[in-house]
Chain A
Amino acid sequence: MSDAARWLLPSMFDHKAITDAIAGPLVEGKAGKRWWIAVLISLAVTGIGVIATGISFAYGPGMWGNNSAVVWGFPIANYVWWIGIGNAGTLISALLLLTRQKWRNAINRFAEAMTILAVSIAGLFPIIHLGRPMYFYWMAPYPNTMGLWPQWRSALVWDFWAILSYLLFSLIFFYLGLIPDLATLRDREGPSHWRRIWGAFALGWQGTPAQWRSHQRLQRVMAVIATPLVCSVHSIVGLDFAASLMPGWTESVFPPYFVVGAYFSGFAMVVLLALVIRSALGLEAMIRPAHLDACAKMLLAAGSVMLLSYGSEWMSALWTGEAADLRFLRFSFTGTYSGLTYGMILGNCLLPQLFWSPALRRSVPVLVIVSAGVLFGMYFERILIICNTLSIGYEPAAWTLYVPTLVDFAILLGTGGLFVFAFLLLSRVIPLVPMYEIRELAEVAKGEVR
């Protein structure tokens, strides 16, 4: 991967061109018609979610499909799914930074933004899903008149700290990378009122070699911490299930397999966002087919690991021969939700295999289909993890199927709208591609071309 010129078109070898391409629209440009339409649509979709959440708060969780046995349903699946998507950004910025991958430069900023938005949205669900959401703060340790503290043995409290730490850590990491670019925006001549705000948040950044050295040092330190952190976050989400004794949940493979699954769905979302951003913001010169190709390879690898994980899960049921596990396996493939099982295998394991072909790795339609397939497949997986186990537990007398309601779908849809809406706003406020890193890359590429 030494060939830096693969990741940047020569038109972007000039620093001014890079700055103009990225900072220009933010400082001088007005939001286009397409942007306004997208904002209105996403706002409307968000509104649906807000109304559905309002209905849930007004009348109670009974508005959802949850029942006495399947006490968890869409809200928890949404939570796990969103937090999974929120994993790829940090992977790209931390792990690829440590391994000095040049292709991270163009995509890490929006991937990190995606992480922060997705984790924030994921963090809403543990509150939304509560029976009495107004008391969510009881999960936090504070000196109260009851003399009570949270239950540190609960995976939900682990979640609370994992999400809180991960979200704030990602925010700091994101902001750290943003500082030099904010300085660029601050210094650019233009009509935007935002320049004062950019200036304040740039904290007086000058770009002296001493500042750069501290900046790079902290970025590496944080990358070293972020990599295990991001793995632990999704391991803990896996422990929500694995630390129980229910059939289909109590599996030691869950934490690693949740981590892989998270990267998987995150990369799928990155691919979709990359496709949108490069055409919408005209950044084809910086987000190259080679980037897509690299992401597609990641999807291929992760998809294959998913297949391995599923296989090991099924095999362990067959191997131990535990009645409840076998029944669970049989139900997965022949029961009411078996359609979702096959959809999950198709989306998560089979579709990514298309990426063995280099041509397909660079084909936009194929990328869209596979990424969407992965996102759906991963959602099916999340819902199956919850519903299979809870629908057919140990006691046949308590077996109950789960049927989501319109409110359930509306809340899920609404969070999608919120994600898009927030992303659209961000795209007008911060540079979605890190300018200083592209400049650095351009310098290397220039040298290579010469």
Chain B
Amino acid sequence: MTALAIASFADEAAFRAGVAKADEAGRRVVGLWSPYPVEIGAIGEEMAAPIAWIAIAGGLAAAFLFYGFIWWTATQSYPFDSGGRPLHSWQVFLIAPIEFGALAAGVAGMIAFIVRARLTRLHHPAFDIAEVERASSEHFVIALACDADDGGDVLALLADAGAVHSRMVTR
């Protein structure tokens, strides 16, 4: 039977100490929650790495497509003599695609973020843990996997790291 040891910390230093101690003890970290951005090792790097590239690729693709569309409307679909300007006035045709490309990059980045950060899961099991709710406002929370029998050790370890509150949850 598995259980979770859940501990709340009041500040970042204690939180980091808790994570370090859990690592030392070889405990599997089930979840970490913090009320502001805290980077711990390389956690999440794999998830975040492509976001920038997706955004840039999305922006560039949209800009090029848009430019192509403009070229088509102005020179192929209905070419107009507009004040004797060349049909393909590329200098000024660049402006709208640049703006639109920036928007597209933002949209692509946002979509990538939502997908990569696994958002839109409004009923995630983590929300059943009362501490996680408080993690968004004041507490740092660590959840460690443990068996019912070594629960006491884990709680001690967390308390040692400076947890202000810890408890066992049995599933």
Contact = CB atoms under 8 A, between A and B. Distances in A.
Asked whether the complex places CB atoms of A and B closer than 8 A, the reply is yes
Contacts of A436: 35-37
B30 to A, nearest CB: 11
A180 interface: yes
Contacts of A188: 137
B122 A214 contact: no
A199 B122 contact: yes
Given A152-B70, A168-B106, A236-B95, A213 B113 contact: no
B164 to A, nearest CB: 12
B2 interface: no
Interface string B20-39: 00000000000111111111
Contacts of A148: 78
Interface string A140-172: 010000011111110001100110111011001
B109 interface: yes
Interface string A164-200: 1110110011011001100110111000000000011
B126 A206 contact: yes
B12 A443 contact: yes
A19 B10 CA distance: 14
B105 to A, nearest CB: 5
B116 interface: yes
A250 to B, nearest CB: 15
Contacts, number: 200
A209 B40 contact: yes
Interface string B91-135: 011011011101101110110111011111111101100001111
Interface stretch (A215-223, A256-264, A265-273, A281-289): A215-223
A251 interface: no
Contact of A161 (B96, B106, B116): B96
B170 interface: no
Given A16-B137, A147-B78, A208 B32 contact: yes
Given A19-B138, A204-B123, A226-B102, 11 more contacts: A147-B77, A161-B96, A165-B100, A184-B136, A204-B120, A207-B135, A208-B32, A208-B33, A210-B47, A213-B48, A214-B117
Interface of A: 15-16, 19, 23, 141, 147-153, 157-158, 161-162, 164-166, 168-169, 172-173, 175-176, 179-180, 183-184, 186-188, 199-200, 203-218, 221-222, 225-226, 228-229, 232-233, 236, 435-437, 439-440, 443, 446
14 contacts: A15-B35, A15-B138, A141-B69, A147-B78, A149-B78, A152-B96, A162-B95, A164-B103, A184-B35, A203-B119, A208-B31, A208-B32, A236-B99, A439-B36
